[in-house]
Amino acid sequence: MNFSDLPADLAGRLIPKPAGKMAYRCLSCDAVHGIGELLYTCPRCGGVLLLEDAAFGDLKRTPSEMWRRIFDYRRLLNVPALKGIYRFHELLGPVIPLDSVVYLGEGGTPLVEAAQVLQEEAGIRFLYKNDGQNPSASFKDRGMASAVSYINFLIRSGRAGEILAVCASTGDTSASAALYASYLHPKVKSAVLLPHGKVTPEQLSQPLGSGARVFEIPGVFDDCMKVVERLAETYEVALLNSKNAWRILGQESYSYEIAQDFDWNVQDLAVFVPIGNAGNITAVMAGFLKLHDLGVIETLPKIVGVQSHHADPVFRYYEEPDPSLRRFVPVTVKPSAAQAAMIGNPVSMPRVIRLAEIYDERSGGRNVFVVRVTEQGIMDGMLSVNRRGHVACTQGGECYAGMRAALREGVVSDKDTAILDATAHAIKFSAFQNMYFSDSFPPEFGVAAKPELKNHPCLVRPDDLALVPAPGKPLSGDALLEFIAKTSRDVAGALGLNPRKPAA
């Protein structure tokens, strides 16, 4: 759309200029630290940080109706820096000039109404938000675009030289970090640490393909995280895990997009999010809170975190109904098909506790919940929805199982509309699909394949066929005709096809 076609009162507002007074705030000691250098934990007490904008109050001078129009009209512009998460620049990283924004196609992921048969079966209206349709095929790209745009800003303004970005990962953070870092090569290089054998082949191929240094470490994600934290404390590296508050900030865009796709009316929505390191659920709460603070949305949707019974520390924490008795205890994880969320000691737990408190208070009652599902439910969930038009990963299957559990337990009702986060693309997790189809899950998962959800390729090689084609050795003449006739006969037989009726 041309600027000359825009409403006159918006023309000056659509291209944001750097603004805001951003700072890190420590969630433990409340100290405030400048953003001039990259911080991951509070230099005073070691607590986790969140970013805040001391000038956020100024945004309230713009009426909420005006904000809605600004965000809606921005959708029409062909300005790359505003096509992704920075459509919400004022809420995400107001200090970042648009020419520092790294846009690789992240954000703006589709909200897809679940197939009618699935909704009838579940007894609730629900939609998937396909965050697997981000450039590295997971939601991590939202946070990475934010963290790497900030790094780019530091470099371009002469406040940082060459940067080595590091992260530990359950697979998707490293894919995303390696991709975004490689875009700024050679100023930014990346190294990723993965738990050996605990990421899928597709996830391992991603950072390798982006040219990152890839290290496989014994143990599980929680062990990798400890190593990478030591690296960040001891050496000159930039940490790209969600401990980095810029990651959380970028992931808030998920909530903004949901609100916008519902024309800013989120009444009776319930947003389901799988919980691993708990960065995403933190961001989702923070995002809705900001919109609510500005009056852009008038109510707060229900937030439902979902965990597997094999990695459920956040569920256990909230299982205690009396907040004064709650105590966080890390768990030792067991193998989980929701492998990207297989974390026993989530880094963002203090953020979740703080934000859930604020969220419930602002909602005027409990509005943040955590439900627990089985590994069987996760796999059955993923395969059931993908057979009906969706592209959910195992964590997306976890959300579906979580929605069914929440409905049974009365956390949501059939009056609600559920939004399920397909946090990554199904193809990243085809290894789990294959294990299901061949019924070969190791016993510690506790997953048995249901025959009606299994699927196999079928080799057609008619017994009565003398010659078949091979690569580089095509058939011709009668041999080819015979091959076509007998093979199509066998395929038709397997499908139970009726012959075409002869024309009358």
Ligand X SMILES: *Cc1c(COP(=O)(O)O)cnc(C)c1O
Query: Footprint of Zn ion on this chain (CB under 5 A)?
Result: 26, 28-29, 31, 42, 44-45, 47
Q: Residue 26 binds which entry of Zn ion, ligand X, none, with Cβ cut-offs from 5 to 8 Å by kind?
A: Zn ion
Does 280 bind ligand X (CB under 6 A)? Our answer is: yes
246: Cβ contacts below 8 Å, ≥ 6 apart: 51, 93, 143, 146, 147, 150
The stretch near ligand X (CB under 6 A) out of 29-37, 48-56, 227-235, 277-285 is 277-285
Q: Which is nearer to ligand X, 304 or 393 (CB)?
A: 393
Does 285 bind ligand X (CB under 6 A)? Our answer is: no
Does 378 bind ligand X (CB under 6 A)? Our answer is: no
**Chain residues 160-179 in contact with ligand X, contact rule CB under 6 A:** 170, 172
Closest alpha carbon to 142 in 359, 423, 399:
423
Q: Which is nearer to ligand X, 81 or 283 (CB)?
A: 283
Does 278 bind ligand X (CB under 6 A)? Our answer is: yes
Structure tokens at 214: 């890839």
Query: Which of 146, 253, 395, 417 forms a contact with ligand X (CB under 6 A)?
Result: 395
Neighbours of 196 (CB within 10 A): 14
Q: Which is nearer to ligand X, 89 or 428 (CB)?
A: 428
Does 277 bind ligand X (CB under 6 A)? Our answer is: yes
Q: Residue 31 binds which entry of ligand X, Zn ion, none, with Cβ cut-offs from 5 to 8 Å by kind?
A: Zn ion
Structure tokens at 99: 């020419």
Backbone phi and psi for residue 328, each to the nearest 5 degrees, phi listed first = -85, 125
Give the C-alpha separation, 84 to 328, whole Å. Answer: 36
Could you tell me the smallest distance in angstroms from the CB atom of residue 50 to Zn ion? 12
Give the C-alpha separation, 138 to 233, whole Å. Answer: 28
Give the C-alpha separation, 153 to 98, whole Å. Answer: 9
Q: Which is nearer to Zn ion, 41 or 395 (CB)?
A: 41
Does 140 bind ligand X (CB under 6 A)? Our answer is: yes
Q: Which residues pair with 274 in a beta bridge?
A: 306
Could you tell me the smallest distance in angstroms from the CB atom of residue 185 to ligand X? 23
Phi-psi region of 141 (alpha: psi -120 to 50; beta: other; left: phi over 0): alpha
**Chain residues 407-436 in contact with ligand X, contact rule CB under 6 A:** 423-424
The stretch near ligand X (CB under 6 A) out of 2-10, 71-79, 273-281, 479-487 is 273-281
Does 138 bind ligand X (CB under 6 A)? Our answer is: yes
The stretch near ligand X (CB under 6 A) out of 56-64, 275-283, 318-326, 358-366 is 275-283
Closest alpha carbon to 109 in 247, 252, 261:
261
Does 279 bind ligand X (CB under 6 A)? Our answer is: yes
Helix (H) or strand (E) holding 259: helix 253-261
Burial class (CB in 10 A: 0-12, 13-18, 19+), 470: exposed
Does 307 bind ligand X (CB under 6 A)? Our answer is: no
Q: Which residues pair with 194 in a beta bridge?
A: 216
The stretch near ligand X (CB under 6 A) out of 45-53, 107-115, 278-286, 477-485 is 278-286
Per residue, what are the HEC states of 200-229? CHHHHHHHHHCCCEEEEECCCHHHHHHHHH
Neighbours of 257 (CB within 10 A): 23
The stretch near ligand X (CB under 6 A) out of 43-51, 192-200, 223-231, 276-284 is 276-284
Could you tell me the smallest distance in angstroms from the CB atom of residue 355 to Zn ion? 17
448-458 burial, b for 16+ CB within 10 Å, e for fewer? Answer: ebeeebeeeee
Helices and strands counted in the chain (H then E): 17, 13
Tokens 């790359």 correspond to 80
**Chain residues 241-270 in contact with ligand X, contact rule CB under 6 A:** 242
167: Cβ contacts below 8 Å, ≥ 6 apart: 173, 174, 177, 190, 192, 193, 228, 239, 240, 241
Per-residue x/- marks for ligand X, 312-351, CB under 6 A? ----------------------------xx----------
Q: Which is nearer to ligand X, 59 or 392 (CB)?
A: 392
Per-residue x/- marks for ligand X, 432-461, CB under 6 A? ------------------------------
Q: Residue 371 binds which entry of Zn ion, ligand X, none, with Cβ cut-offs from 5 to 8 Å by kind?
A: none
Query: Which of 124, 393, 405, 420 forms a contact with ligand X (CB under 6 A)?
Result: 393
Could you tell me the smallest distance in angstroms from the CB atom of residue 338 to ligand X? 7
Q: Which is nearer to Zn ion, 28 or 299 (CB)?
A: 28
Structure tokens at 469: 């084609």
Q: Is 470 helix (H, G, I), strand (E, B) or coil?
A: strand
Q: Which is nearer to ligand X, 153 or 256 (CB)?
A: 256
Strand order of the sheet with strand 238-239?
213-217, 188-195, 163-168, 238-239
Does 274 bind ligand X (CB under 6 A)? Our answer is: yes
Q: Which is nearer to Zn ion, 26 or 353 (CB)?
A: 26
Kindly list the residues in this chain that would bind ligand X in the complex (CB under 6 A).
Answer: 138, 140, 170, 172, 242, 274-280, 340-341, 393, 395, 423-424
